[in-house]
Chain A
Amino acid sequence: MSKEDKKQKKGWHIGRSIREFVYGMAAHDTARFALKTRGSMEHLFILITMGDMLGIPILPPYYSLRLLPFVVPQISTWKRRMLREKDFTDTLA
């Protein structure tokens, strides 16, 4: 590895560290919140499209099948979340 390359690589490391530091200080919470909201929406989406898995038929099933392949990995966490023992009034709080 030439000297030039090493220098460049070091610069890149410093750059990344600074970026990660700033991210941790300022943006991490925002990003986490965005992802969390995104996750809830994902579950809401599956509820609307695949509701009949829990006995809540919503969409005519022909087209919900068409969407099924895209949400397969999320199905089990979604079910766990939806069926979690929880007082329904919790959601009102």
Chain B
Amino acid sequence: MNLTQVLAANPKMKYIMFGGKGGLGKTTFSAATAYHLAKQGHKVLVFSVDPQASLSDIFRQDIFGKGAVEIMPNLFAQEIDADRRVQEYQQQIKQQILDRYGFDRIPDEIESYIAAASSEPAMEESAIFDAVVDIVFTGAYDYYIYDLVPLGHALYYLSMSSIYDQWINKITELRAEMQRYDRVAARMKSEQTTDEDEILNELQEIRKRINLSSSVFTDKEKTGFFFVVTPEEMTILDTRKAGELFSKFGVPISGYVVNRVLPESLLNEEIPAYLRHRIQAQGEPLRKIREVFVGRVVGSVSEFERDITGLEMIGRVAEQLFCD
């Protein structure tokens, strides 16, 4: 099967993700896939969940923190400005406190807690994770293409969501029990039962968002998760390990795409010995890729003579990625 066939065989597929080690071409493939689908008349959003995003570079257009920007007809790209999102979020929390209690300033200890919490390393990741919910579930696109973070981070997202979920379940139980005690006290005093628990509502909202965000990763019908691999021993080993880990988290892996393949046709031409050796040396890893990921390699893209930036180069990658 190739990538075109995978998409044709899964008409409900709506979320497409490329995962893999850093620097193998996840952003390139994300952009090329978006380009291809947009050319076919689908409305596509490609967005980055990476704080060090590179969509701006590949499209040669500054889109950082600007929302969904139209790159060409039907093709939209978005880079989330996690920093700003955290700032706005803090502001929103503070405003809520001021309004709620009629304070004219935030109490010192609360202020410093907010500042400390916001500088936690997990804060940015969580903010992006949360932003994805808004992007994916409010937009009206036919396809959403995730330009994923390198492997470790992606796994962190997934494990985070299951931990959050368990945690919130426990907490929700505690809140529910607290509510029962409230009711008992109220009944004994023949008072009206107290208002519904706002915190409980908030917790349920948080859980809903986390579940939505992580459910996308594990939806077998709607999600296509592809690993990018290059013909190098190390990458193959790492990718295989990552594949096993992702499977453990219930992520359905739809296929593997090989990148940076030096064209063998060059061997028939006059080329320097250096290049000849490089081409011959990739034969073994390529064989290994076919052997390890047997029947699951859905595409192969060559090494290009220059960097992939700008729509023209992206188009050339798309052509190879979606050849028949």
CA gap between A30 and B189 in the complex, in Å:
10
1/0 per residue A57-84: CB within 8 Å of B?
1011111111111111101100100000
A12 CB–B CB distance under 8 Å: no
Question: With the chains together, A23 CA to B120 CA distance in Å?
Answer: 50
Q: CB within 8 A of A62: which of B107, B130, B171, B202?
A: B130
Say whether A34 contacts B118, CB under 8 Å.
no
Instruction: Say if the beta carbon of A44 comes within 8 Å of chain B.
Output: yes
Partner pick for A23 among B101, B109, B190, CB 8 A cutoff? B190
A-B pairs with the 10 shortest C-beta distances? A62-B126, A31-B188, A61-B117, A38-B181, A27-B188, A34-B185, A69-B96, A34-B184, A31-B185, A34-B181
CA distance A67 to B41 in the complex (A): 43
With a CB–CB cut-off of 8 A, which chain A residues contact B188? 23, 27-28, 30-31, 34
Expressed in whole angstroms, the Cα–Cα distance for A73 and B97 within the complex equals 10
Binding site for B on A (CB under 8 A): 19, 23, 27-28, 30-31, 34-35, 37-38, 41-42, 44-45, 48-50, 52-53, 57, 59-73, 75-76, 79
By a CB distance below 8 angstroms, the chain A residues around B117 are 52, 61, 64-65
Smallest beta-carbon distance B85→chain A, Å: 10
Given contacts A52-B113, A61-B117, 16 further A-B contacts (CB under 8 A): A30-B188, A31-B189, A34-B181, A34-B184, A35-B181, A49-B171, A50-B113, A53-B113, A63-B164, A65-B89, A66-B93, A66-B206, A67-B203, A68-B110, A68-B113, A68-B114
Task: Considering the complex, give the chain A residue whose CB is closest to the CB of B160.
Answer: A60
Complex CA–CA separation, A61 to B272 (angstroms)? 56
Q: Which residue of A lies closest to B103 (CB)?
A: A72
Binding site for A on B (CB under 8 A): 89-90, 93, 96-97, 100-101, 107, 109-110, 113-114, 116-118, 120, 122-123, 126-127, 130, 160, 164, 167, 171, 174-175, 177-178, 181-182, 184-185, 188-190, 198-199, 202-203, 206
Residues of B within 8 A of A65 (CB): 89-90, 93, 114, 117-118
* Known contacts A37-B181, A75-B109; is-contact A44 B164 (Cβ 8 Å): no
CB distance from A16 to the nearest CB of B (A): 10
C-alpha spacing A59/B166, complex, angstroms: 11
Q: How many A-B residue pairs have CB under 8 A?
A: 103
**Cβ–Cβ contact B202 & A52, under 8 A:** no
Most chain-A CB neighbours within 10 Å: which of B118, B126, B160, B178? B178
CA distance A3 to B266 in the complex (A): 111
Pair B107/A72 contact, Cβ less than 8 Å: yes
When chains A and B are docked, how far (Å) is the Cα of A66 from the Cα of B188? 33
| Chain A residues whose C-beta falls within 8 Å of the C-beta of B127 in the assembled complex | 62
User: Measured between C-beta atoms, what is the minimum distance from B166 to chain A in Å?
Assistant: 12
If A49-B171, A63-B126 touch, does A70 touch B185 (CB 8 Å cutoff)? Answer: no
Tell me the minimal C-beta distance from B144 to chain A in angstroms: 22
Q: Name the A residues within 8 Å of B114 (CB-CB).
A: 65, 68
A72 pairs with B97, CB closer than 8 A: yes
Q: With A35-B185, A66-B93, A70-B198 in contact, is A53–B178 under 8 Å at CB?
A: no
